[in-house]
């Protein structure tokens, strides 16, 4: 019996004393996919052959670490490698600018499913699901800082058509893949300084959204989410699609609100929002990120914020109603390593939450025995959950610890050093 298996058996015994079924917990973890963002691999560049706008919509990847994926083949190669370093089967989240365009010049209001058909074939071959995002930034028609809420009707029409096409592509992906494809919509619309006509911009955004979502698709193929933001570069004073705006829109239109953990004030608890929103919506989309003082999109790590987020999801019994996605990008470190670290940190946070004896804790709380609640919560912090994780990786033939770091560096030396 190896050391990993021995440690696992001892850990399982410890948790069984708390009436936690470790084996069933690992089954839940294995069956919970994470939507992995493709844009970590190339610093949010994409493969379009069109003139980029001067504005990135407040999106900027910092750093210039060697090995950036330069084309669709290299990006897929990196994503395949990421899958080998992460236990479980997951999903890949695409942005519209990552189509298989080849040498074709296709503006965003002209994209079609055929530009993403090879992604569907690749996903089937690699046993992963697909999700989709309209790309509303880094384009000449976004240079004013406004897209769907622009006061220029031609600009609004351009972006409405783009999102309509994205939803159609997304629905076809879901149909071909046999699993619903989530289409998430975030727009960078906002203003740098004091804005007088806030209501006017929000009315225009509402009108654009109503036109977009007037086209109905089967929920077996397409699920829609809308994403808010507190502020961004160039929208420090006013964001059209604020949290309040999109929460109201999502609840009234039967859509999913998307909660990005970097899109709120640093002192706000995104975990607390879960149980506040869930009574009014059927599902939510989650973008797990790590903001350092602002929406900096740092690589996700296993910190208190990540633990709190998944504690709230598990304690509330919401796991089957939450779509877990990632949204971060760091160009200052090995990009495959950044992907893998963030995905595994998210999985660890979920495992940590699943290993909690929730009903026992709720019982203490209901009875008013707050000492027992506090004592057990403290005891759980030093429980051997790491041994459970090590065994989970081992059983799924995924490297861990020193071996993982060596494998990442080995892939870097083999592949990334040849990319200039």
Residues identified as active-site: 186, 227, 229, 260, 263, 287, 295, 297, 327
CA dihedral 136, 213, 90, 14 (to 10 degrees): 110
Residue with tokens 């350092």: 292
Rg (CA), the chain: 22
Output the CA–CA distances (angstroms, integers) from residue 267 to 240, 289, 292, 311, in the order listed: 22, 15, 11, 18
Quick check: 167 and 183 in contact, CB under 8 A? yes
- Tokens encoding 317: 């019994």
Strand partners, 94: 132
d(CA 94, CA 408): 23
Output the CA–CA distances (angstroms, integers) from residue 166 to 108, 178, 215, in the order listed: 9, 18, 12
d(CA 169, CA 93): 13
d(CA 311, CA 388): 17
Task: Determine if residue 236 is left, alpha or beta; phi over 0 gives left, psi from -120 to 50 gives alpha, anything else beta.
Answer: alpha
- If you ran DSSP here, which 8-state letter would residue 290 be given? B
List of residues 6+ apart from 381 with CB closer than 8 A: none
Closest CA to 137 of 190, 64, 81, 88: 190
- Tokens encoding 128: 């992963």
């Amino acid at each position: 019996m190896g050391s990993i298996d021995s440690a696992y058996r001892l850990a399982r015994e410890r948790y069984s004393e708390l009436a936690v079924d470790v084996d069933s917990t690992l089954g839940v973890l294995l069956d919970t996919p994470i939507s992995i963002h493709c844009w970590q691999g190339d610093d949010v560049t994409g493969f379009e052959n069109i003139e980029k706008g001067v504005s990135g919509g407040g999106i900027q990847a910092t750093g210039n670490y060697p090995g950036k994926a330069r084309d669709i083949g290299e990006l897929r190669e990196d994503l395949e490698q990421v899958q080998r370093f992460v236990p479980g089967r997951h999903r890949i989240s695409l942005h519209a600018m990552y189509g298989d365009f080849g040498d074709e010049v296709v503006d965003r209001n002209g994209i079609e499913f055929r530009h993403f058909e090879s992604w569907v074939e690749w996903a089937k071959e690699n046993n992963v699901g697909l999700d989709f995002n309209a790309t509303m930034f880094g384009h000449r028609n976004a240079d004013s800082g406004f897209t769907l809420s622009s006061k220029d009707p031609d600009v609004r029409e351009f972006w409405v058509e783009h999102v309509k096409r994205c939803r159609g592509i997304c629905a076809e992906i879901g149909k071909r893949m046999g699993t619903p494809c989530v289409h998430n919509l975030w727009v960078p619309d906002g203003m740098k300084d004091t804005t007088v006509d806030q209501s006017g911009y929000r009315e225009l955004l509402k009108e654009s959204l109503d036109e977009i979502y007037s086209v109905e698709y089967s929920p077996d193929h397409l699920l829609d989410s809308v994403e808010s933001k507190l502020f961004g570069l160039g929208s420090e004073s006013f964001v059209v699609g604020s949290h309040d705006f999109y929460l109201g829109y999502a609840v009234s239109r039967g859509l999913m609100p998307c909660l990005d953990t970097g899109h709120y004030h640093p002192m706000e608890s995104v975990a607390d929002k879960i149980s506040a929103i869930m009574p009014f919506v059927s599902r939510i989309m989650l973008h797990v990120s790590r903001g350092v003082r602002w929406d900096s999109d740092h690589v996700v790590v296993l910190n208190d914020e990540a633990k709190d987020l998944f504690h709230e999801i598990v304690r509330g019994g919401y796991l089957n109603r939450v779509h877990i996605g990632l949204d971060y990008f760091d160009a200052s470190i090995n990009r495959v390593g950044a992907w893998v670290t963030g995905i595994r940190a998210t999985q660890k946070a979920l495992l940590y939450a699943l290993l909690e004896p929730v009903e026992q804790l709720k019982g203490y709380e209901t009875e008013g025995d707050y000492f027992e609640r506090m004592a057990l919560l403290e005891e759980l912090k030093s429980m051997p959950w790491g041994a459970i994780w090590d065994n989970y990786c081992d059983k799924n033939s995924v490297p861990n610890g020193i071996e993982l770091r060596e494998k990442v560096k080995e892939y870097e030396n083999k592949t990334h050093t040849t990319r200039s």
